[in-house]
């Protein structure tokens, strides 16, 4: 169990590194864009594309693999004031709902993402199925994470909140 | 209510799951999938809307960059230096440290676009400063810190205004400009209440900063004070777009913190990067959810239905704005600000347009309105933050916030009645002739990006 937990923690820290690098890449792309356009008067075209890609990836990667439960924006007037038992019931219901809805829609999403291989991004020439595959990472992460949450809520034990 | 209707079921899922504590962004994505699945449409439309929406909204990149620059400013102690400078300016009056808190927030507002960043970043220092030696009660210090943080996104730059520009297709440049006078108005209202409270409770006058300290403290704060000038000058001088200004803000904050003040190590920089990246993912998730759910709202024709209903009431523009104020104040007590901006406001925009209300004016009123929601209980994000920072109970903070909320609502009513925004825009038009803020239109950016993707 300890090894599993250590492995999870390690995975999560590396996922966090990736997320941070994405933000730095976005920032650098922006600076390059500004400097080449206004200072050197020879604008680069791929910088705008790179920054939007890091934005899309940052959000879905971060939300799927990095964010902890307490960091997410939620409506917690009711939930936050519930007794522990009621909260467990909610976790079991919402966790199951996430697993059901995301599993139900996963084939359609896979279809969509793989279909996007026909397009490439304008400047970097990256295939759109690769760009958009981050949604599938996110969806699978949601299924796994909420399965764990629901399992823990239902049984009162498990391998730790959220699996990355 | 028809329980077989996909839209009704999606709404039930949305409300039910978020009440049960599921993150709001995720809930919106799920509600969209449920709607699409039950109405026999392709469920992948949810992913398509979300991915294309994020990929195609270049202006939204201002959000992570402003979060990042605020993180760097806080980590690099720019805020501390500003605070000392403000103490020099207004610390000598009764309730002086309270005024310092207000003025510091106004200046910080000119650099950062987020109320949360203001409260979470400089809030601790502001509260400590006010409560040191028992000068002010902790609950009052916390309340004032929450209230002054509200100015952050009203005075440009502003993350909520970027989000509004996205949903209403309004010019970010003009929105930013429209926020200046309302922001200052709110600061004046806050200083008024602070003076009144100081006299009533006999808060102490703090030690005067000796005059010989003046040049040193000013010089020390000078690079930080230049930041709003560079940002706004850059945007309105036509040198950079608001999104680029966000990147410049981050670069400038890093430069002066690391090189000039030498108060930011590489390790601290990295910590700020990690922190900002995580906040970006959290708020981005909300935007992603809204992009997916907006498809549902649009395909069910909700904005037009609402417009039809409201048209039936035959309201004048000012009556409509009053209704909007009330709705948003009530919702602000219950929901987080970006959620309201991304879900509720798009539904109201067509009605405002039909009534001939200027989209910039509407945006400023809506943003001010929603920011007040951040300090109204029971769900006031800023209240939670300052209660935690000051170690006081939420109820004590809420009690001390009440007079300020009243003043802010009064200021909102004044702003609603056109005067300040109209005045700003008129002033702008008369002084700048034909120049408009460069590349500020959301539509422009969207078109550019559409071309980019299509090319």
Please check the confidence at residue A54 and state whether its pLDDT lies above 50.
yes
From the CA of B44, how many Å to the nearest CA of chain A?
Answer: 5
Higher pLDDT, B452 or B405: B405
Assign A59 a pLDDT band (cuts: 50, 70, 90). very high
Least confident piece of the model among A47-51, A70-74, B360-364: A70-74
Per-residue confidence (pLDDT) for residue B428, from 0 to 100: 60
Q: How far apart are the first and last CA of chain A?
A: 15
> Testing the interface with B: which of A15, A56, A85, A86 to mutate, by most B Cβ within 10 A?
A56
Please check the confidence at residue B394 and state whether its pLDDT lies above 60.
yes
CB contact (8 A) between residue A20 and residue B273: yes
Please check the confidence at residue B437 and state whether its pLDDT lies above 70.
no
CA dist A135 and A61 (Å) reads 8
CA dist A55 and B163 (Å) reads 15
CB contact (8 A) between residue B47 and residue A109: yes
* For range B97-120, the mean pLDDT: 84
Per-residue confidence (pLDDT) for residue B57, from 0 to 100: 78
In the numeric block, the tokens 């509260």 are attached to: B127
DSSP conformation letters of A70-139: GGS----HHHHTS-HHHHHHHHHHHHHHHHHHHHHHHHHHHHHHHHGGG-B-TTT--BHHHHHHHHHHHH
Higher pLDDT, B453 or B268: B268
Per-residue confidence (pLDDT) for residue B203, from 0 to 100: 86
**CB of B324 within 8 A of CB of B348?**
yes
Percent of chain B with pLDDT over 70: 91
Residue B229 buriedness (CB in 10 A; 0-12 / 13-18 / 19+): exposed
* For range B431-455, the mean pLDDT: 38
Assign B420 a pLDDT band (cuts: 50, 70, 90). low
Percent of chain A with pLDDT over 90: 66
Assign B442 a pLDDT band (cuts: 50, 70, 90). very low
> Testing the interface with B: which of A17, A39, A52 to mutate, by most B Cβ within 10 A?
A52
pLDDT digits (tens, 9 = 90+) for A139-150: 999 999 999 999
Please check the confidence at residue B359 and state whether its pLDDT lies above 80.
yes
Assign A159 a pLDDT band (cuts: 50, 70, 90). very low
Per-residue confidence (pLDDT) for residue A45, from 0 to 100: 84
Higher pLDDT, A66 or B92: A66
Highest mean pLDDT among A15-19, B122-126, B316-320: A15-19
From the CA of A44, how many Å to the nearest CA of chain B?
Answer: 13
Per-residue confidence (pLDDT) for residue B418, from 0 to 100: 62
Please check the confidence at residue B335 and state whether its pLDDT lies above 80.
no
Q: What is the mean pLDDT of chain B?
A: 84
pLDDT digits (tens, 9 = 90+) for A84-106: 899 999 999 999 999 999 999 99
* For range B132-156, the mean pLDDT: 90
Strand partners, A109: none
Per-residue confidence (pLDDT) for residue B434, from 0 to 100: 37
Residue B232 buriedness (CB in 10 A; 0-12 / 13-18 / 19+): buried
Per-residue confidence (pLDDT) for residue B207, from 0 to 100: 74
Please check the confidence at residue B379 and state whether its pLDDT lies above 80.
no
CB contact (8 A) between residue B277 and residue A23: yes
Whether A84 contacts chain B with CB within 8 A? no
pLDDT digits (tens, 9 = 90+) for B91-102: 888 888 899 999
* For range B233-239, the mean pLDDT: 80
Per-residue confidence (pLDDT) for residue B424, from 0 to 100: 59
Please check the confidence at residue B116 and state whether its pLDDT lies above 50.
yes
> Testing the interface with B: which of A74, A122, A126 to mutate, by most B Cβ within 10 A?
A74
Q: Chain B residues with CB inside 8 Å of A105's CB?
A: 33, 37, 43-44, 46
Please check the confidence at residue B452 and state whether its pLDDT lies above 90.
no
pLDDT digits (tens, 9 = 90+) for B238-271: 778 888 888 998 999 899 888 888 888 999 999 9
For every residue of chain B, which 3-state class applies, written as one string?
CCCCCHHHHHHHHHHHHHHCCCCHHHHHHHHHHHHHHHCCCCCHHHHHHHHHHHHHCHHHHHHHHHHHHHHHHHHCCHHHHHHHHHHHHHCCCCCHHHHHHHHHHHHHHCCCCCHHHHHHHHHHHHHHHHHHHHCCCHHHHHHHHHHHHCCCCCCCCCHHHHHHHHHHCCEHHHHHHHHHHHHHHHHHHHHHHHHHHHHHHCCCCCCCCCHHHHHHHHHHHHHHHHHHHHHHHHHHCCCCCHHHHHHHHHHHHHHHHHHHCCCCCHHHHHHHHHHHHHHHHHHHHHHHHHHHHHHHHHHCCHHHHHHHHHHHCCCCHHHHHHHHHHHHHHHHHHCCHHHHHHHHHHHHHHHHHHCCCCHHHHHHHHHHHHHHHCCCCCCCHHHHHHHHHHCCCHHHHHHHHHHHHHHHHHHHHHHHCCHHHHHHHHHHHHHHCCCCCCCCEHHHHHHHHHHHHHC
Whether A124 contacts chain B with CB within 8 A? no
Please check the confidence at residue B210 and state whether its pLDDT lies above 70.
yes
CB contact (8 A) between residue B42 and residue A122: no
From the CA of A5, how many Å to the nearest CA of chain B?
Answer: 22
* For range B414-436, the mean pLDDT: 58
Higher pLDDT, B259 or B334: B259
Per-residue confidence (pLDDT) for residue B122, from 0 to 100: 75
Whether A78 contacts chain B with CB within 8 A? yes
Please check the confidence at residue B436 and state whether its pLDDT lies above 50.
no
CB contact (8 A) between residue B338 and residue A102: no
């Amino acid at each position: 169990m300890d090894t599993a937990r250590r492995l999870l923690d390690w995975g999560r820290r590396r996922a966090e590194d990736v997320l941070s690098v994405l933000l730095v890449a976005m920032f650098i792309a922006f600076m390059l864009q500004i400097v080449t356009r206004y200072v050197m008067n020879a604008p680069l075209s791929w910088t705008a594309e790179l920054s939007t890609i890091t934005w899309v990836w940052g959000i879905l990667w971060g939300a799927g693999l990095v964010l902890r439960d307490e960091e997410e924006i939620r409506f917690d007037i009711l939930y936050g004031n519930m007794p522990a038992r009621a909260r467990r019931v909610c976790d079991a219901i919402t966790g199951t709902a996430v697993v059901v809805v995301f599993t139900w829609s996963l084939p359609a999403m896979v279809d969509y993402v793989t279909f996007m291989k026909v397009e490439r991004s304008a400047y970097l020439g990256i295939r759109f199925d690769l760009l958009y595959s981050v949604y599938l990472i996110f969806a699978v992460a949601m299924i796994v994470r909420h399965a764990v949450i629901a399992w823990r809520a239902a049984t009162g034990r498990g391998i730790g909140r959220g699996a990355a | 209510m028809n329980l077989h209707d996909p839209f009704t079921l999606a709404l039930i899922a949305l409300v039910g799951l978020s009440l049960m504590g599921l993150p709001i962004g995720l809930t919106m994505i799920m509600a969209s999938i449920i709607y699409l699945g039950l109405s026999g449409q392709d469920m992948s439309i949810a992913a398509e809307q979300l991915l294309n929406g994020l990929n195609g909204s270049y202006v939204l990149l201002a959000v992570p960059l402003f979060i990042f620059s605020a993180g760097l400013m806080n980590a690099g102690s720019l805020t501390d230096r500003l605070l000392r400078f403000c103490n020099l300016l207004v610390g000598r009056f009764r309730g002086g440290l309270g005024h310092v808190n207000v003025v510091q927030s106004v200046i910080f507002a000119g650099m950062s676009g987020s109320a949360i960043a203001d409260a979470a970043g400089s809030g601790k220092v502001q509260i400590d400063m006010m409560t040191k030696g028992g000068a002010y009660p902790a609950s009052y210090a916390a309340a004032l810190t929450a209230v002054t943080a509200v100015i952050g996104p009203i005075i440009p730059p502003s993350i909520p205004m970027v989000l509004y520009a996205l949903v209403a297709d309004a010019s970010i440049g003009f929105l930013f400009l429209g926020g200046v006078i309302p922001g200052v108005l709110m600061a004046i209202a806050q200083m008024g209440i602070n003076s009144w409270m100081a006299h009533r409770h006999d808060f102490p006058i703090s030690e005067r900063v000796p005059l010989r300290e003046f040049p040193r403290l000013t010089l020390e704060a000078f690079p930080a004070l230049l930041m709003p000038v560079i940002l706004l000058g850059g945007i309105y001088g036509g040198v950079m777009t608001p999104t680029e200004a966000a990147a410049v803000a981050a670069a400038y904050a890093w430069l002066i913190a690391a090189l000039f003040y030498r108060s930011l190590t590489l390790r601290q920089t990295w910590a700020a990067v990690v922190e900002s990246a995580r906040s970006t993912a959290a708020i981005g998730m909300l935007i992603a959810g809204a992009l997916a759910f907006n498809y549902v709202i649009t395909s069910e024709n909700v904005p037009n239905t609402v417009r039809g209903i409201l048209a039936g009431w035959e309201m004048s523009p000012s009556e409509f704005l009053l209704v909007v104020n009330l709705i948003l104040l009530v919702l602000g007590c219950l929901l987080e600000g970006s959620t309201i901006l991304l879900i509720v406001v798009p539904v109201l925009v067509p009605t405002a347009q039909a009534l001939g209300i200027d989209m910039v004016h509407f945006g400023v009123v809506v943003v001010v309105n929603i920011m007040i929601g951040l300090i109204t209980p029971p769900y006031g994000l800023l209240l939670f933050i300052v209660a935690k920072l000051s170690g006081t109970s939420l109820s004590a903070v809420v009690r001390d916030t009440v007079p300020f909320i009243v003043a802010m609502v009064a200021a909102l009513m004044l702003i609603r009645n056109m005067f300040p925004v109209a005045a700003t825009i008129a002033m702008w038009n008369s002084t700048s002739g034909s120049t408009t803020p460069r590349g500020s239109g959301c539509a422009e950016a969207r078109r550019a990006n559409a071309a980019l993707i299509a090319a």
